[in-house]
Amino acid sequence: KWLAGIDLGGTSTKLAFLSLCGEIMDKWEIPTDHSEKGRNIVLNIVKSIDRRLHELGEGREKLAGVGMGAPGPVDHATGVLYNAVNLGLRENYPLQAILERETSLPAAIDNDANCAALGEMWMGAGDGAKDLVCVTLGTGVGGGVIANGHILQGAGGAAGEIGHITSVPAGGAQCNCGKTGCLETIASATGIVRLAMEAAAAGEKGRLADMISNTGIVSAKDVFDCASGGDAAATRVVDEVAFHLGLALANIANTLNPEKIVLGGGVSRAGDLLLNKVKEQFARYAFERVRETTTIALATLGNDAGVIGAAWLVKKRLS
């Protein structure tokens, strides 16, 4: 038997078939269809799964269950997706029930960042750790907290939203959540680009500033590339990102003392340049026992963490 793991995103949906041991047998991606009040989202996913199974000479009976990570807070117990309006869905969308109805298979859902955390715990950098904090540095900053092998859900499904820790208490940039000064406004790809643009506007010189004046825009990757090439303005941006991230992670670790903190998402591809600076700041703000027992590592599953964690969810439900 296989498990189907699905990572439902705002623009595209990643799908995979996995063995019961978490090995990816097949994976692919489809666009997410927001039209018709999101009515096509699940239908397209199910159609795509059936087509793929057929191509592989299998039928739906090959699947033991379907797991899905979805953007936004999820009520884990009832499988309801809150704030699903980004996807064109109505509020409090019973995603798990609809998935079960359309596939006639057991289904389980959770927040996408939580799924990525579970994926890293099961098959990635978590390496069997049962107390794990995962941070996803992408367009936004997502997070998942695993305590004793369980994802922390919180009272409203909003636990682990590390991106909305306040890093700048007054005068910070506007965040998507409605607040200002959130970690996400600094340590996400969007935040990094904003800091770079601000540095150039403030008259900083060098390669980063030249790129901005030539093309009008840079990516987070450009900022890290410039910093590793020794550009002073880019280095200041990276230092600021690392300061706020290291401080927030130290505060989290001072509370939870996880075995590992795993950094994932596109920005974490900056690798050691980011990791070493974050570790340095972390060491300033974590107290001794925490410094000695909590380690920070880079995620190892890349874009597959979400589908792997989603499969783990339904495997767990079946066992």
- Write out the residues near Zn ion by the rule CB under 5 A: 164, 175, 177, 179, 182
Binding segment (CB under 6 A) for ligand ADP, from list 51-59, 164-172, 266-274, 285-293: 266-274
Q: Smallest Cα–Cα separation from 274: which of 242, 313, 251, 319? A: 242
Applying CB under 6 A, does 300 fall inside the site for ligand ADP?
no
Q: Are 137 and 248 in contact (CB under 8 A)?
A: no
Q: Which residue, 224 or 282, is less far from ligand ADP as judged by CB?
A: 224
Binding segment (CB under 6 A) for ligand ADP, from list 57-65, 243-251, 259-267, 278-286: 259-267
164 binds, options ligand ADP, Zn ion, none, Cβ within 5 to 8 A by partner type: Zn ion
Which residues make Cβ contacts (< 8 Å) with residue 153, sequence separation at least 6? 75, 76, 159
Cα–Cα–Cα angle for 7, 11, 13, nearest 5°?
25
CB of 29 to Zn ion, least distance (A): 28
Q: Which residue, 159 or 182, is less far from Zn ion as judged by CB?
A: 182
DSSP 8-state assignment for residue 108? E
Is 288 exposed, middle or buried, given 0-12, 13-18 or 19+ CB atoms closer than 10 A?
Answer: exposed
Q: Which residue, 131 or 184, is less far from ligand ADP as judged by CB?
A: 184
Among 81, 270, 296, 314, binds ligand ADP (CB under 6 A): 270
- Per-residue interface string for the shown chain with ligand ADP, residues 25-64, x marking contact by CB under 6 A: ----------------------------------------
CB of 189 to ligand ADP, least distance (A): 3
Among 220, 234, 238, 314, binds ligand ADP (CB under 6 A): 220
Q: Which residue, 184 or 204, is less far from ligand ADP as judged by CB?
A: 184
Chain residues 174-213 in contact with ligand ADP, contact rule CB under 6 A: 189
Phi/psi of residue 70, nearest 5 degrees? -130, 150
CB of 8 to ligand ADP, least distance (A): 12
Residues pairing with 21 in the sheet: none
Among 269, 275, 283, 318, binds ligand ADP (CB under 6 A): 269
Q: How far is it, in rounded angstroms, from Cα 206 to Cα 228?
A: 13
Q: How many CB atoms lie within 10 A of CB 216?
A: 8
Q: How far is it, in rounded angstroms, from Cα 141 to Cα 267?
A: 10
Among 38, 65, 143, 265, binds ligand ADP (CB under 6 A): 265
Cα–Cα–Cα angle for 258, 76, 256, nearest 5°?
15
